[in-house]
Amino acid sequence: MKVALKVCTFNVNSIRTRIDLVTSWLEHRDNDIDVLCIQEIKVVDEKFPYEAFEQLGFICEVYGQKRYNGVAICSKLPLTLLERGFNDERWDQQKRLMTGCVGDLNIINVYVPHGDLRGTDKHKYKLAWYKQFFRFLQEGYTPDQKILVLGDFNVARDDVDVYDPEKVKDVIGTMAEERAVFNEVINWGLIDAFRRLHRDRKEFTWWDYRGGAIWRDEGMRLDYIFCTQLLLNSLKQVEVDLWPRRRRTPTPSDHAPTIAVFKDQLESQS
């Protein structure tokens, strides 16, 4: 019998700083996540807190970097065909991409560069990274496979994905050229799971630490779970869990996790 798969993306903004928050949150949810993709772990592989996740039933595969970036996939299910990065020395200086499979399901965990003001090197790098990721999809996958692409994309796709389109017009994350390269990736064959189920809902995944933005809900939707068409009929639920973002202690990340449920994706163990 097939049972549901619950997957999550969460930018933790330093896993060692946030490990008490993450484990408390998982326990708060009755530890119901099957596959947890985390970004911005900011730690080298050997210093990742593996044991804390193992105590909750996860095995973690890590692609880390000191002080910056870094991604990990923590799974209760066997992960196969693990790959770290683009296999390109230029692009893999920053640790931002990790892939693996759960059965016949491809999981692609990404942490897109934040960027900077228009015309800066960081801004150009962000646009180029998106182009590189698009090539990575084209060369390594086809849209008729079972694929989940999830992570922090550092772009609010549309005006509905920001709290006030006029106040945050043409800033980092809403620039037209950022949205254009983001949509080029999506148009390869990806479906925005949250937006498919909640077509007009304003709901965010990131809030600035400054000024109590979380309490006024002045945020942006920067974290996404995308699926290919083959998974669309299995999509049952997508939610943003505000519990870990609304903590005062332990100190929260500036992001909240996004969780999706895909029915009939796992073989029951009973």
For residue 268, the model assigns a pLDDT of: 58
Spatial contact of 73 and 37, defined as CB atoms under 8 Å apart: yes
Q: CA-to-CA distance for 29 and 175, rounded, in angstroms?
A: 36
32 burial (CB, 10 Å; 0-12 / 13-18 / 19+) is exposed
Closest by Cα among 14, 39, 8 to 26: 8
Instruction: Answer for the pair 268, 10: CB distance below 8 angstroms, yes or no.
Output: no
Q: What is the layout of strands, in order, in the sheet containing 80-84?
A: 80-84, 97-102, 105-111, 147-152, 223-227, 191-192
Asked if 222 contacts 205 with a C-beta cutoff of 8 angstroms, the reply is: yes
> Residue 248: which residues within 8 A CB-CB, separation 6 or more?
none
Question: In this structure, are residues 214 and 207 in contact, taking their beta carbons and an 8 Å threshold?
Answer: yes
Q: Domain ranges in the chain?
A: 2-267
* pTM score: 0.96
Per-residue pLDDT of the chain (270 residues), as tens digits, is 678 999 999 999 999 999 999 999 999 999 999 999 999 999 999 999 999 999 999 999 999 999 999 999 999 999 999 999 999 999 999 999 999 999 999 999 999 999 999 999 999 999 999 999 999 999 999 999 999 999 999 999 999 999 999 999 999 999 999 999 999 999 999 999 999 999 999 999 999 999 999 999 999 999 999 999 999 999 999 999 999 999 989 999 999 999 999 998 866 554
Q: Which two tokens stand for residue 29?
A: 């949810």
Q: Rounded CA gap, 125 and 50, in Å?
A: 31
Tell me, what's the pLDDT at 253? Answer: 98
pLDDT for res 264: 80
- The pLDDT of residue 270: 46
Q: pLDDT tens-digit profile of 80-126?
A: 999 999 999 999 999 999 999 999 999 999 999 999 999 999 999 99
Q: Are 172 and 208 in contact (CB under 8 A)?
A: no
Query: Which tens digits make up the pLDDT trace of 179-205?
Result: 999 999 999 999 999 999 999 999 999
As a whole number of angstroms, the distance between CA 176 and CA 169 comes to 9
CATH architecture for segment(s) 2-267: 4-Layer Sandwich (3.60)
